[in-house]
Amino acid sequence: MLDGLSEFCAEALAEHGCPSVSLAVAERGEVVHAAAYGTADLATGRPATPDTVYGLASITKPITATAVCHAADEGLLDLDAPAPLPGADGGPAPTARQLLQHRGGLGAYYDWDYGDGERIHDPDRYAVPYRAPGTGFGYANLGYRLLGRLLEQATGQELGACVRERVFAPLGLTACDLARVYPGPAPSAQRYTPDGRAYPDYGCSHPGATLGWAPAGELAMFAQSYDRLLKPETAAAVRHALPVNEHLGYGLGWCLSSGDGPLVQSHGGGGPGVAAMAVAAPERQLSVAVLTNSTNKAARDAILRYVLDELAPDCTPESITPLIADPARPMTLPEGDWTGRISAPERDVPLTLRMLPDRQVTLRLDGVRATAPATATAAWDLRASFPLQLPTTDARISSPELGLALRLADGALTGEAHAYKNGDTEGRLGNFLSHPCTLSPA
């Protein structure tokens, strides 16, 4: 099996400008194949090896979820008790279970601290509800930030120490960690932009969502053995997935397939210089991990597909993350003007929106105007992005563009305004900040 893998990996790395990949296959509790290709550190020429440790980005979430469920099994926390949102002003609070499922009502968010003094100083201000808890799926790093805090309060341990003691050590995963900087002893892969610029070491305000580290072999083992730490009923709850689209649902920290074919459990990870994926077929006791050190996910995806086509061809792309399907539909909003505000943490920012013919929309923000194409999707009546800076201290750090996602209800447009940076082809990956937005007919 996996004949031609070396040649395929070399071609994929070259085609997509990815410095290295490490991959592993585990079966019935044992790593049966581990290999690495390319260069872990371009400056020194250090090659990638199966022992090289890579950043996991969002594959950290099932690790944190396992620790949360383990603490619940010990009676240290209640998955169904309210977990108040620090940025909310009253209203029902989500439960830990809802936060694990990305159904806590929070908006999309991430931030990066590159050690240059430019960072979001109070991320809690963005932990505000956009919908009632339990009413819809919304992928939320801030939910896992709150879960990390719950773990620390419940166990009396710092999050990294809690995960090492309660998850990694019992499973014999000696090279895994959860930390801003990988502490060793194995060497880690330097992280790179798609055009080969090295990232500095970085942190974020949501470590329980993002800051995991592992070699591919240990990640593959985690994906098929984490449930050994949990009571049977809790392990079953992890795989009880509420639907996100017709092929996939999200359980307690994992994406799960639905419909015909084998159950597929997966989670992807992407961030500054990281593209990672873990996939398991629990009924077959088979798991695969693919880790790369580039922001570009193309090499990761191609190599994962090559391995799965050989080992588990019925694990189709539709049965694996990414989750969210939001197909386009015809625009129905009439031409005309709308006025309203973006509710940023430091102040409300007024804006004016003009719907034009041919699905164009003009936005006026802080005295600056831009016109962009607009679309409608299954979830939103209007989506558009503009080269406009939201004039707040946080957004000015590294979020120079503005996106709107709005629904029409009761005569008003309501939804989210996103301050963000589009990729890292210039500089470093920026932050992604969500803000409530409301407009009424002018």
**Which residues are bridge partners to 237 per DSSP?**
none
Q: Residues with Cβ < 8 Å from 431, sequence gap 6 or more?
A: 110, 111, 112, 120, 394, 397, 398, 399, 419, 420, 421
Q: How many residues does the chain have?
A: 442
Helical residues (DSSP H) of 135-294, grouped into ranges: 141-155, 159-163, 207-210, 216-225, 232-238
Helical residues (DSSP H) of 95-195, grouped into ranges: 96-100, 141-155, 159-163
* Ramachandran area for residue 266 (φ above 0: left; ψ -120 to 50: alpha; else beta): beta
Question: What is the residue type of 265?
Answer: Q
Closest alpha carbon to 216 in 54, 57, 62 = 54
Q: Residues with Cβ < 8 Å from 149, sequence gap 6 or more?
A: none
Helical residues (DSSP H) of 274-329, grouped into ranges: 298-311
Q: Would residue 58 show up in a list of annotated catalytic residues for this protein?
A: yes
CB 3 within 8 A of CB 15: no
Tokens of 124: 């809690």
Output the CA angle 204-277-292, nearest 5 degrees.
75
Phi, psi of 265 (to 5 degrees): -115, 130
Closest alpha carbon to 288 in 5, 22, 75 = 22
Question: What is the residue type of 384?
Answer: A
Considering the candidates 58, 205, 257, 434, report the single residue annotated as catalytic.
Answer: 58
CB 297 within 8 A of CB 36: no
Residues annotated catalytic, as ranges: 58
